[in-house]
């Protein structure tokens, strides 16, 4: 008795397909999601893992991470700018107390510094070394 085994396509995946596979795999690595991902792209799990481990796959992932960070930074900057504009309007209308404005301003300032990998606090370390002969 002959059993029928579904053969996976041997076509070459486009760079965009590989990118999508890598992004989705990286975001959620549960076994059922790996199977679903393989099924959607009609590839075997071995092929998926080969893509993930390949040098090209790692380069695609690194590029995706860089692009995601840039997009996040742009969105954050836009949100901060709009928030600051709205706060300015509220202060002019005296709808907001000065203390509240100081708190909000401090939070926004800290978040902005964090986004740009800058310090949000001043830390000092004193080291005393005693040299004896």
88: in domain: yes
* pLDDT confidence tier of residue 98, bands split at 50, 70 and 90: low
Q: HSE, CB side, 13 Å, CA atoms: give it for residue 90.
A: 13
Burial class (CB in 10 A: 0-12, 13-18, 19+), 72: exposed
Supply the range of the domain harboring residue 73.
Answer: 69-117
Contact 41, 12 (CB under 8 A): no
pTM passes above 0.75: no
Asked whether residue 2 carries a pLDDT value surpassing 70, the answer given is: no
Could you tell me if residue 125 is inside a domain?
no
Number of domains in the chain: 2
When pLDDT is averaged across residues 34-56 and rounded to a whole number, the result is: 88
Considering the domain architecture, whether residues 73 and 100 belong to the same structural domain is answered as yes
Residue 129's Cβ-count burial label (10 Å; 0-12, 13-18, 19+) is exposed
């Amino acid at each position: 008795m002959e059993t029928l085994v579904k053969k996976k396509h041997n076509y070459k995946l486009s760079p965009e397909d590989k990118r999508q596979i890598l992004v989705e795999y990286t975001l959620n690595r549960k076994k059922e999601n790996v199977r679903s991902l393989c099924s959607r792209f009609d590839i075997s799990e071995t092929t998926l893992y080969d893509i993930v481990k390949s040098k090209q796959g790692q380069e695609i992932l690194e590029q995706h991470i860089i692009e995601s960070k840039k997009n996040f930074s742009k969105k954050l900057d836009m949100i901060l700018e709009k928030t600051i504009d709205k706060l300015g309007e509220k202060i002019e209308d005296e709808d907001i107390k000065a203390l509240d404005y100081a708190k909000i301003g401090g939070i926004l300032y800290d978040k902005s510094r964090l986004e740009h990998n800058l310090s949000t606090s001043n830390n000092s370390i004193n080291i005393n070394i005693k040299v004896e002969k």
